A and B are shown apart, each in its own frame.
Chain A
Amino acid sequence: GNSVTQMEGPVTLSEEAFLTINCTYTATGYPSLFWYVQYPGEGLQLLLKATKADDKGSNKGFEATYRKETTSFHLEKGSVQVSDSAVYFCALRRAGGYNKLIFGAGTRLAVHP
């Protein structure tokens, strides 16, 4: 079946540190891949997306590259800020016009000054 696996949290970093949150997926064909972020007390916001292999999604200093060969979509940021503290969800949508999003378990990030 289709699934998403994220690294377990929480991830605790100091401000300006480098961030990587691993995400791997299982799916047939070429799914679309997404990162969503959930700030404390708020709903989910789309952070970035990639719809085909080797695409790089980027937004607010975050990047993720769709790697078909390793079935991965790792989230990276070169220098995190305290305001990046949130829960990050990796998600996929199957190819072929399906609308359902399949989410990973989420990774909580805490950034300290």
Chain B
Amino acid sequence: SAVISQKPSRDICQRGTSLTIQCQVDSQVTMMFWYRQQPGQSLTLIATANQGSEATYESGFVIDKFPISRPNLTFSTLTVSNMSPEDSSIYLCSVETGSPYNEQFFGPGTRLTVL
């Protein structure tokens, strides 16, 4: 298993500003993921972040809006840029670990409200 922490746990931001969310894992992992959970909805994958390579974004998500860093095997950041109220969501970090049936473990999430 993996223990994942995220900072901040919640924030209220003004339109047009940016917020960087941090994700810390208690062990080294190759694959980290960022998901978005819009109010009352399911989770949608934003991007996959592997250490040492550029993040891979899902359809509908772009690097300019959601830049991601992955400086080492235990840490990643997601920035939500030029925010609008539509970006109000819970943002979750997850990691994949375990073999042979890999499992994904999720952080507690960052609840973002954009005014």
| Residues of A bordering B, CB below 8 Å | 32, 36, 42-46, 49, 51, 89, 99-101, 103-106
| Residues of B bordering A, CB below 8 Å | 4, 31, 33, 41-45, 48, 58, 92, 94, 96, 101-109
B96 to chain A, nearest CB (A): 6
- Judging by beta carbons under 8 Å apart, are B48 and A46 in contact? no
- Judging by beta carbons under 8 Å apart, are B42 and A106 in contact? yes
CA distance A101 to B61 in the complex (A): 16
The total number of A-B Cβ pairs within 8 Å is 42
- Judging by beta carbons under 8 Å apart, are B92 and A43 in contact? yes
Partner of B107, one of A43, A49, A101, A104: A43
A90 to chain B, nearest CB (A): 10
The chain A residue sitting closest to B30, CB to CB, is A99
- Judging by beta carbons under 8 Å apart, are B101 and A100 in contact? no
Partner of B43, one of A32, A42, A103: A103
CA distance A101 to B33 in the complex (A): 10
- Judging by beta carbons under 8 Å apart, are A42 and B108 in contact? yes
A53 to chain B, nearest CB (A): 15
Beyond A32-B101, A49-B103, A100-B48, whether A105 also contacts B108 by CB under 8 A is no
A31 to chain B, nearest CB (A): 12
CA distance A45 to B107 in the complex (A): 9
A20 to chain B, nearest CB (A): 20
- Judging by beta carbons under 8 Å apart, are B42 and A104 in contact? yes
CA distance A42 to B9 in the complex (A): 10
- Judging by beta carbons under 8 Å apart, are A45 and B106 in contact? yes
- Judging by beta carbons under 8 Å apart, are B108 and A43 in contact? yes
- Judging by beta carbons under 8 Å apart, are B48 and A43 in contact? no
